[in-house]
Chain A
Amino acid sequence: AQSVTQLGSHVSVSEGALVLLRCNYSSSVPPYLFWYVQYPNQGLQLLLKYTSAATLVKGINGFEAEFKKSETSFHLTKPSAHMSDAAEYFCAVSAAYSGGGADGLTFGKGTHLIIQP
C-alpha cells in the first residue's frame, strides 16, 4: 500500500516569505507524486507532478517540489508567498504505478496555508 503524510495541518507565513509545505511518502515501488491546491468550495487543481523524470519539478503559480528518495520526501516550496496562495494543499500518491491494477489517488490530510499581510 502507498500513503503520504503531510506534516502540519496549518502553516502560516507572511506575504513575501518562503512557503514550505511538507510531504513524506511511503511506497514499496517508485511512486508518482502530486501536489494539488483546493480553494474554498472548489475542486482540486494540479500544481505539479513527479513521474520519475527530473527530481526537481516546477509547477504553476511559482511552486516547485523536489523528490528526494533518500528522505522519502516531496516537499512543496514557493520563494515568495502571495495573498492569493491562501488555500488547502494536498499531497497525493498514485496507486497506479504499483502494477497491481489499482487506480486512483491516495491523498494526505492536507495543509491549510495562511498568508499574513
Chain B
Amino acid sequence: DAMVIQNPRYQVTQFGKPVTLSCSQTLNHNVMYWYQQKSSQAPKLLFHYYDKDFNNEADTPDNFQSRRPNTSFCFLDIRSPGLGDAAMYLCATSRGRGLMNTEAFFGQGTRLTVV
C-alpha cells in the first residue's frame, strides 16, 4: 500500500502559469520534504515542514512555495514556472529530526513539464 502519494504523476503546465503539486502521507510522520530532481541529477532539497514549522533551504528560489494544511498533506506551489523548472519533484516524509530521522520515505514523484 502506498504510504506517500503524489498527484499527479505527470503534470504539464504553461510557462508562467501557476501550478500546484500535491503530496499526502498515511504514515503520520512529523516531517515532510520537497525535493527537486532535474534530469540525470541528484535530488536537491527545496524545503521541509516539521509539523507546521516551515524550513526553507537558502538557495531555493522565491518562485517555489509550500503549504501544509494538516499532518497528511503538503503542497508545492510554483508561482511562475520557467523552462528551467522542468524536473521530477519528489515528496518524502520522516518521523522526526536528529536520532529520529533514520529513514525518509519517498513518493513516486511528479514529473513536471513546462511548455
Question: Does A103 contact B42, Cβ atoms closer than 8 Å?
Answer: no
Question: Does A46 contact B97, Cβ atoms closer than 8 Å?
Answer: no
Question: Does B43 contact A44, Cβ atoms closer than 8 Å?
Answer: yes
Q: How many residues of A contact B (CB 8 A)?
A: 25
Q: Is B70 an interface residue (CB 8 A)?
A: no
Q: How many residues of B contact A (CB 8 A)?
A: 30
Complex CA gap A36/B92 in Å reads 13
Q: Is A75 an interface residue (CB 8 A)?
A: no
Q: Is B90 an interface residue (CB 8 A)?
A: yes
Question: Does B50 contact A103, Cβ atoms closer than 8 Å?
Answer: yes
Question: Does A51 contact B102, Cβ atoms closer than 8 Å?
Answer: yes
- The 0/1 profile, CB within 8 Å of A marked 1, for residues 46-70 of chain B is 0010100001010000000000000
Question: Does B109 contact A41, Cβ atoms closer than 8 Å?
Answer: yes
Q: Is A94 an interface residue (CB 8 A)?
A: yes
- The 9 lowest CB-CB distance pairs between A and B, nearest first, are A107-B42, A43-B106, A96-B101, A104-B45, A44-B106, A43-B108, A43-B109, A51-B102, A109-B42
